[in-house]
Chains A and B, each alone.
Chain A
């Protein structure tokens, strides 16, 4: 079965850094672009970042550009999101997901990042 498992969420102070990970199983991520989507408590979905199969193409939402860095390790079947200069408004559940035919077809369970002093 396809599975995505996020980890690394934590409580961090404003201005701090955190790296969250997404480990895939049941398929090989090398054939898929990978994506991060977040959801603030009680709010809607917000796309964060996308990375192509060989990391050639990388995109970010304006809200995180310059602060977040997405990367992937196809050999380890994992994707990462390095988050720097964190703000209170970055508090959210962070999901990784795959895309097929333009739709996010597989999602992880999410990892909670809380930015608070």
Chain B
């Protein structure tokens, strides 16, 4: 079955750029989606169809997807960005989530 792999944790200093990767077989042939989940809250869609930002998502969030890897990039990271991030793709009619990455801003 299809699987998406994320690093368990990523650390970044405030104001710097954070990159979170998501790997899957020929993931670039699919669309990738990214969610932010703060503690005790429901997930929020931050990137859809590889590169698009939903209304209300800050411009510092961006995405790319090529080959076997999708990447979520957060430019000028702020303390409020500290959260768990999940990638997601569709495999036929099933939904696949990555294992999640805890972003620490320190």
**Chain A residues within CB distance 8 Å of chain B:** 35, 37, 44-47, 50, 57, 59, 61-62, 95, 101-105, 107-110
Contact = CB atoms under 8 A, between A and B. Distances in A.
Contacts of B88: 45, 103-104
B49 A101 contact: yes
Interface of B: 1, 31, 33, 35, 37, 42-45, 48-49, 52, 54, 84, 86, 88, 90, 93-100
B93 A95 contact: no
Contact of A44 (B44, B90, B99): B99
Contacts of B31: 102
Given A57-B93, A59-B94, A107-B43, A101 B48 contact: yes
Contacts of A35: 95
B42 A108 contact: yes
Secondary structure of the B side of the interface?
Answer: strand
A19 to B, nearest CB: 21
A29 to B, nearest CB: 18
Contact of A45 (B1, B48, B86, B90): B86
Residue in B33, B45, B84, B86 whose Cβ sees the most chain A Cβ within 10 Å = B45
Given A44-B86, A45-B35, A45-B86, A105 B45 contact: yes
A103 B86 contact: no
B49 to A, nearest CB: 6
